Amino acid sequence: MKLNPVDSIVYVLMKLLKRFFDSRLCGIEYFEPTLTRRILIISSTALGDTLLSTPAIAAVRRRYPEAAIFALIHTNYMELVATNPHIDEFIPYYGGYKKFLETTLRLRKLKPDTAFILHGNEPQATPLAYLAGARFIFKIPIPSQYGFLLSNHTNGFTDSPWQHHAISVRLKTASFAGCKEDDLKMVLPVSAQDSDTVKHLFHKLGFESRHVLIGLQPGAALSYKMWPQSNFTSLGKKLVELIPDVRIVVTGSKAERALCTKIATDIGQKAVPVCGELPLRLLGALIKELTVLITNDTGTMHVAIAVGTKTVSLFCPSNHWGVGRAYDFHLHKVIYKERPCDPCITKKCKNPHCMEQISLEDVFSAVKELLGKDSYI
């Protein structure tokens, strides 16, 4: 693996600053909740990861209702979580070392006294929290060269944190500062205005209140997590055949437009692609209008769970117990198959056939169960 020389420079700088220029007592034993006034939260990775951090952010707000809370969020996903009521100010993260100095200077102006790294890109996240000036930095410690910057040196679990759901891991991080871990629900408010905008779009597409809207999310950030395109098409055709008032909404990003359009076209007139036509901030409102979403392990799945839309989520080889549903189990069906290859090489796999283990009948049965007796199946 090619090493980035900037990593080495930043590491040496952190070592020097910590050893020779920082006399503060930063261990967790010195943390005093009553002195916590300005909090930096870092959750700078993907869309789904950002939503998985929202329960911990809410927990921090409940514990520190008067504190100013700032959030470093990836610039690509800030728009989606901009309505989060627990965050006072958002700071964009541009990925890697892009605008690193600019971001550092902006964070320093906020003068945080405490930082929570819920899910951050390393090796940038921990140095950013430290350079921001936070005296106390809380993070689940992993084998990392920046452990010396953390206030806590244990993970709070009696076993590996990776045996727990990602939401629980983030809540554990917040618990180091006295926050409760009892509420796992993600936070993604949908405004009446955004809801009306989506309803207007659906009206233009010919959707009516009597229609059963079923979403298909065929894409994913990584191809090895994707159920075959032909299976989504076959599922859509079967739903159209058996449910008279069904309408299929094939969702995706701009990059997935060709995939979504092909699936919708092959299903027929009762299917439409919605991929990239709406700004990201409306994704929650869009998904909330659906009756059920059939989805790969991707960010849109987390959006659906956050807004309370029923889901059938498809997993292999990724694990559903770590990133899938964590609550409202009656609303969310998981179809999981054991990975056939060990070790799994994930995104390096050139023939990701494992998702083919999930049959059309598996998925259709789960959809039928969620739709219930009123589905006309």
Residue 345 lies in a domain: yes
Give the count of domains, the chain: 2
pLDDT in tens, 310-335: 999 999 988 899 999 999 999 999 99
Residue 185 lies in a domain: no
Domain extent at residue 13: 5-175
170 and 206 in a single domain? The answer is no
198 and 168 in a single domain? The answer is no
Residues 311 and 313: their CA atoms lie apart, in Å, by 6
67 and 216 in a single domain? The answer is no
pLDDT in tens, 67-105: 999 999 999 999 999 999 999 999 999 999 999 999 999
Percent of the chain with pLDDT over 70: 98
* Helix pair 229-242, 257-267: axis angle to 10 deg: 40
pTM, two decimal places: 0.95
168 and 217 in a single domain? The answer is no
On average, the pLDDT of the chain sits at 94
Q: Is 175 a residue whose pLDDT tops 70?
A: yes
Question: Given 149, 175, 201, which residue is the final one in a domain?
Answer: 175
58 and 93 in a single domain? The answer is yes
CATH number reported for the structural domain that contains residue 72 in this entry: 3.40.50.2000
200 and 171 in a single domain? The answer is no
Residue 180 lies in a domain: no
Stretch 131-143: mean pLDDT: 94
Host H or E run for residue 17: helix 5-20
60 and 170 in a single domain? The answer is yes
Residues 137 and 120: their CA atoms lie apart, in Å, by 13
Question: Given 142, 175, 208, which residue is the final one in a domain?
Answer: 175
pLDDT for residue 40: 99
In sign, the C-alpha dihedral spanning 19, 25, 31, 35 is negative
Beta-carbon count within 10 A of 310 CB: 24
Stretch 114-133: mean pLDDT: 97
160 and 207 in a single domain? The answer is no
Confidence of residue 1 (pLDDT cuts 50, 70, 90): very low
Question: Given 123, 150, 175, which residue is the final one in a domain?
Answer: 175
41 and 160 in a single domain? The answer is yes
Residues 324 and 304: their CA atoms lie apart, in Å, by 11
Q: Is 162 a residue whose pLDDT tops 90?
A: no
